[in-house]
Chains A and B, each alone.
Chain A
């Protein structure tokens, strides 16, 4: 089974802090994604990557950046955390050609910015 591991389940950070959310997958998937999930808004794509050192903006990239130095690891960075970035963050991975399972998700990181 594909495993997608997010480093923290819960995080509390202060406004203005730089925050790193880490995601690692162990099945050699090419694609990796970062979403945030908020009540009533569903899953919104922040950034994605189809390959090492490659990144593409999703629908809501403002205030975020990403890093993919190795194929298995995709990091989401909040340059200066703000209270409106309090959310559940979900990492996902998939094969390059999609496949019939779509995405495999990590357990999520619930981030609270105070």
Chain B
């Protein structure tokens, strides 16, 4: 079966660091994606991990541990515009489709 879990909501303060966790169980794994989605808009690509370790891209970093079925998205120097939903998605090795978590709604306060 396939299951992706991430927290429903998180809050943080402007300028702080926040870590959004994602755990997954899939029958076959071929990469993990993080997307950002502002209210009423389309999801946009943030990061991709297929090997274990940390991928850094500016203020955003994403980590993957395949043996633990675990990823996190790290957002540094939070800005108000980072208030959005963050979707974790796993690509199934057999079908090549993305399976999405329900998303984590992050609110950044001044």
> Which A residues contact B (CB, under 8 angstroms)?
4, 31, 33, 40-43, 45, 48, 90, 97-98, 100-108, 110
Given contacts A45-B97, A104-B45, A106-B42, contact A98 B31 (CB under 8 A): yes
Find out whether the CB atom of A98 lies under 8 angstroms from the CB atom of B96.
Answer: yes
**Pairs A–B under 8 Å by Cβ, sample size 30:** A4-B42, A31-B96, A33-B97, A40-B8, A41-B102, A42-B101, A42-B103, A43-B87, A45-B97, A90-B43, A98-B30, A98-B31, A98-B96, A100-B31, A100-B48, A100-B50, A101-B45, A102-B35, A102-B48, A102-B89, A102-B91, A102-B98, A103-B43, A103-B45, A103-B98, A104-B45, A105-B42, A105-B44, A107-B42, A110-B40
Q: Could you count the A-B residue pairs with CB atoms below 8 Å apart for me: how many are there? A: 50
- Are A107 and B41 in contact, CB atoms less than 8 angstroms apart? yes
* Residues A43 and B44 in contact, CB atoms below 8 Å apart: no
A42 and B102 within 8 A (CB)? yes
Residue of A nearest to B33 (CB): A102
A97, B41: Cβ atoms closer than 8 Å: no
Give chain B residues whose Cβ lies under 8 Å from the Cβ of A104.
45
- Which B residues form the contact surface with A (CB < 8 A)? 8, 30-31, 33, 35, 40-45, 48, 50, 87, 89, 91, 96-98, 100-103
- For A42, the chain B residues whose CB sits under 8 A away are 87, 100-103
16 additional contacts (CB under 8 A) given A40-B8, A42-B103? A41-B102, A42-B87, A42-B102, A43-B100, A45-B97, A97-B96, A98-B30, A100-B48, A100-B50, A102-B98, A103-B43, A103-B45, A105-B42, A105-B43, A106-B42, A110-B40
Distance between Cα atoms of A45 and B98 in the complex (Å): 9
In Å, the complex CA distance between A46 and B76 comes to 35
Contacts of A102 in B (CB 8 A): 31, 33, 35, 45, 48, 89, 91, 98
